[in-house]
């Protein structure tokens, strides 16, 4: 039925791609360098399985890491396979697992209407757990506690198996146990549960595993280097029958270690599948050779990797600009001025540019510079559409209509708009729920249905029972309407029942904007008119920042290096190339962390098609004090012949030269002759005091070529700092 179909698409593959697409059965590892066409290889491999090898589409599972990547693959497969593509199981790890769990709910500790707690809900649930355990969230930060719980789940460690090594670990274990209890009481799962519960389902129910592993004759995985332990275990289980697993990845682009990703899964794959076919994709279709040579100079210093030689047919291209600014203000000014000149010349559009940085905090000065220049920009990682108050309110109402046991959503909207249900009523509702082993939502349904006839009516003083019953009645109506109305009709019914438009839109510009956001959510809901409420809520819970990146916005993009993965731009700026920023100071004493910082810089470089600007600052402010910066060690790995140096720089004769740029805090340096007669004011071993950092000891002091004295001090409060003596306001404690 499927064999001997036209294979015209194979004509456009290079030799390495052709070998990967047409490989036979068994385990196949494709190490795909950046811009080497891995999405093409994945999609055409699927088309080849169907058209040339006769594999039925519903026997194929393809797993990606983002919804954006899944949509792109689906679109390409529709072009290659037409309607046959609809039968392929294609989606993110989390979406595929959610689909399996809903189908196999009979084996699980929650039912098929479970809700998926988004990132904000998960933190809220940790806060509830801390409160239930009488723990101070100022001492035990919810985000940090949740990160530890998530890491444990990613390593398949349950609350019972979590082994404390410190007192904080003891606290985490207790919170983890309470957190899981709250999830189950809410008929809910978090992102990590989607994976770990699927692994547990397969391990504890061999017939279920056999059904899925038997069905999926071929499993294909994108971004394999970003898999964690639980995802790797999931893949082994799903491929346990046929052993036909096709993974595409690049250990050089593994940058998510902090959330459990382990590039060593590539090495494990090679050792656990000794008959694996290993194919390298080294031809780059994105960048110039100069960009690739610079990136390879950086990444070749890492170990535990397969060496690659990236090459491009796009020619040498422009040299990489290395700009050294006087300070962080001049750094931001250079970036914005350069972009403005390109746009005003008509040779580039705003959307051609990306400005990347290591930490979100670095965006502030950039944003201010763009605002001063009157240039619009798009900030990735700012408050997402789905994180806005009014959007989260409506989603919470819809989640309650699907799952009244969802206590997080209930607490969010039970008094939205205000209906007189106070804190005492909520506490009484929660206590009664715990006492009767029910969810607060279930109690509300009973109050709404039975009113005064409910045995719980008398447990609420004054008007509380009536107010709670009114909301319970609404909830019961939505429950019934869920099965009879379309998603849009249910959406409109809920908003009308609670009077949400009048509540959110007071006629002001902000109110109108908020109501527009609700209408935008409604437009999105309309696209799910056939798939329904469950699919709508599931996709919203699994959306990522990249999934909300505007496609046609003609403005420069500001984003972290982590968020840049999978994107590309004609011109890329990477700022903050100073020791302590990139690489980050946290990586200084950890070789694995340092290797990941190097991979992060490599990913940033290889996002560029035509031009790269590397930008650093000689000085940065810290608590009002200008601190001298050391250039990033990664810059030394780039061949000098690839660079065009600009800004403040030192020539080979060691004389100091300055570019035309000046910042408000810059000064003309003294001549080298004047600097030569200066002597350091501070000496090693001397005790000093700083107005912000307190007491410390001088480690070293020296006169720079610009005549400034720089002092290395170890402060008891903040550790090692390098400061400029003339403006650091250091006070000698034991002068002599």
- Residue 198 among known ligand-binding residues: no
Burial pattern 83-100, b for ≥16 Cβ within 10 A else e, equals: ebbeebbbbbbbbbbbbb
Q: Name the burial class of residue 228, with classes exposed (0-12), middle (13-18) and buried (19+) by CB atoms within 10 angstroms of its CB.
A: buried
With a threshold of 0.75, does the pTM exceed it?
Answer: no
- Residue 657 among known ligand-binding residues: no
Taking residues 454-472, what's their average pLDDT? 87
pLDDT at 696: 83
pLDDT at 650: 41
Strands 569-574 and 353-357: parallel
Tell whether the model's pLDDT for residue 583 goes beyond 80: yes
The rounded mean pLDDT for the chain is 86
The answer for residues whose C-beta is within 8 angstroms of residue 502's C-beta and 6 or more apart is: 417
Cα maximum dimension of the chain? 96
Q: How confident is the model at residue 478 (pLDDT cuts 50, 70, 90)?
A: very high
pLDDT at 135: 92
- Residue 35 among known ligand-binding residues: yes
Of the candidates 527, 600, 603, 535, the one whose C-alpha atom is nearest the C-alpha of residue 569 is 603
Strands 89-92 and 643-647: unpaired
Taking residues 413-429, what's their average pLDDT? 88
- Residue 36 among known ligand-binding residues: yes
pLDDT at 544: 58
pLDDT at 410: 92
Q: Which of 155-159, 238-242, 726-730 comes out lowest in average pLDDT? A: 726-730
Q: Can you say how many angstroms the Cα of residue 205 is from the centroid of all Cα atoms in its chain? A: 33
Classify domain 311-384+550-647 by CATH number: 3.40.50.300
pLDDT at 551: 55
Neighbours of 332 (CB within 10 A): 26
Tell whether the model's pLDDT for residue 668 goes beyond 90: no
Classify domain 115-186 by CATH number: 1.10.10.160
Helix (H) or strand (E) holding 558: strand 557-560
- 8-105+195-285: CATH topology is Rossmann fold (3.40.50)
Catalytic residue annotation: 38-39, 222-223, 253, 607
- Residue 38 among known ligand-binding residues: yes
Taking residues 90-117, what's their average pLDDT? 92
Strands 656-657 and 649-650: antiparallel
Tell whether the model's pLDDT for residue 477 goes beyond 50: yes
Tell whether the model's pLDDT for residue 716 goes beyond 80: no
Taking residues 707-719, what's their average pLDDT? 74
- Residue 39 among known ligand-binding residues: yes
pLDDT at 654: 30
Better pLDDT: 654 or 734: 734
Question: pLDDT per residue over 361-400, tens digit each?
Answer: 788 789 888 888 889 998 886 555 677 788 899 999 999 9
Class at the top of the CATH hierarchy for domain 390-542? mainly alpha
Alpha helices in 117-261, H assignment, sequence order: 119-132, 142-154, 167-185, 191-204, 206-215, 229-238
Question: pLDDT per residue over 557-579, tens digit each?
Answer: 999 999 998 899 999 999 999 99
d(CA 355, CA 374) in angstroms, rounded, equals: 17
pLDDT at 613: 97
Tell whether the model's pLDDT for residue 430 goes beyond 50: yes
Taking residues 509-515, what's their average pLDDT? 76
pLDDT at 549: 52
Helix (H) or strand (E) holding 720: strand 719-724
pLDDT at 509: 66
* Cβ contact 230:92 at 8 Å: no
């Amino acid at each position: 039925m499927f064999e001997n179909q036209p294979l015209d698409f194979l004509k456009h593959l290079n030799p390495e791609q052709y070998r990967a697409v047409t490989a036979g059965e068994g385990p196949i590892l494709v190490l795909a360098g950046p811009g080497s066409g891995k999405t093409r290889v994945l999609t055409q491999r699927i088309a080849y399985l169907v058209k040339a090898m006769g594999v039925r589409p519903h026997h194929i599972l393809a797993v990606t890491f983002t919804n954006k990547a899944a949509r792109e693959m689906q679109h390409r497969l529709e072009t290659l396979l037409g309607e046959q593509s609809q039968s392929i199981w294609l989606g993110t790890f989390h979406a595929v697992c959610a689909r399996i769990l809903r189908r196999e709910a009979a084996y699980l500790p929650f039912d098929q209407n479970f809700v998926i707690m988004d990132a904000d809900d998960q933190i809220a649930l940790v806060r509830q757990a801390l409160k239930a355990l009488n723990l101070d969230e100022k001492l035990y930060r919810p985000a940090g506690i949740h990160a530890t719980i998530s890491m444990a789940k990613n390593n398949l460690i349950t609350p019972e198996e979590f082994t404390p090594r410190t007192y904080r670990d003891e606290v985490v274990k207790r919170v983890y146990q309470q957190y899981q209890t709250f999830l189950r009481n809410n008929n809910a799962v978090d992102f990590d549960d989607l994976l770990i519960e699927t692994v547990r389902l397969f391990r504890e129910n061999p017939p279920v595993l056999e059904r899925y592993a038997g069905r999926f004759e071929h499993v294909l995985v994108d971004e394999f280097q970003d898999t964690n332990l639980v995802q790797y275990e999931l893949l082994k289980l799903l491929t346990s029958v046929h052993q036909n697993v096709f993974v595409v990845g690049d250990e050089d682009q593994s940058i998510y270690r902090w959330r459990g990703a382990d590039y060593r899964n590539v090495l494990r794959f090679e050792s656990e599948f000794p008959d694996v076919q290993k194919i390298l994709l080294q031809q780059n279709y994105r960048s110039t050779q100069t960009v690739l040579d610079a990136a390879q100079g950086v990444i070749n210093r890492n170990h535990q990797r397969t060496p690659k030689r990236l090459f491009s047919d796009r020619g040498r291209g422009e040299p990489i600009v290395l700009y050294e600014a006087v300070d962080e203000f001049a750094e931001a000014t250079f970036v914005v001025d350069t972009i403005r000149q390109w746009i005003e010349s008509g040779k580039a559009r705003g959307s051609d540019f990306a400005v990347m940085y290591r930490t979100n905090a670095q965006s502030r000065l950039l944003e201010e510079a763009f605002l001063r220049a009157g240039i619009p920009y798009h900030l990735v990682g700012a408050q997402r559409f789905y994180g806005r108050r009014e959007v989260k309110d409506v989603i919470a109402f819809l989640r309650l209509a699907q799952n009244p046991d969802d206590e997080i959503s209930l607490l969010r909207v039970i008094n939205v708009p205000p209906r007189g249900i106070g804190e005492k009523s909520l506490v009484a509702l929660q206590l009664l729920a715990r006492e009767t082993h029910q969810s607060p939502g279930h109690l509300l349904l009973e109050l709404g249905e039975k009113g005064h006839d409910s045995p719980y009516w008398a447990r609420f003083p004054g008007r509380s029972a009536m107010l709670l019953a009114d909301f319970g009645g609404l909830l019961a109506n939505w429950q019934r309407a869920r099965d009879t109305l379309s998603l849009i009709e249910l959406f409109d019914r809920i908003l009308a029942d609670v009077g949400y438009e009048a509540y959110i839109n007071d006629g002001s510009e902000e109110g109108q904007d908020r109501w527009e956001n609700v209408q935008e959510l409604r437009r999105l809901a309309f696209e799910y008119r056939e798939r329904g409420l469950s699919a709508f809520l599931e996709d919203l819970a699994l959306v990522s920042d990249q999934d909300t990146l505007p496609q046609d916005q003609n403005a420069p993009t500001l984003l972290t290096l982590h968020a840049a993965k999978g994107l590309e731009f004609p011109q890329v700026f990477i700022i903050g190339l100073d020791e302590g920023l990139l690489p980050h100071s946290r990586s200084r004493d950890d070789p694995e962390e340092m290797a990941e910082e190097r991979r992060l810089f490599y990913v940033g470089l290889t996002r560029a098609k035509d031009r790269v600007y590397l930008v650093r600052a000689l000085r940065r402010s810290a608590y009002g004090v200008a601190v001298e910066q050391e250039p990033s060690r990664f810059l030394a790995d780039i061949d000098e012949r690839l660079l065009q140096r600009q800004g403040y720089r030192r020539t080979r004769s060691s004389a100091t030269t300055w570019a035309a740029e000046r910042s408000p805090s810059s000064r003309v340096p003294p001549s080298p002759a004047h600097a030569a007669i200066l002597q350091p004011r501070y000496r090693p071993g001397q005790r000093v005091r700083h107005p912000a950092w307190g007491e410390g000891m001088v480690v070293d002091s020296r006169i720079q070529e610009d005549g400034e004295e720089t002092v290395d001090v170890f402060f008891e409060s903040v550790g090692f700092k390098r400061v400029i003596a003339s403006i650091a306001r250091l006070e000698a404690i034991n002068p002599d």
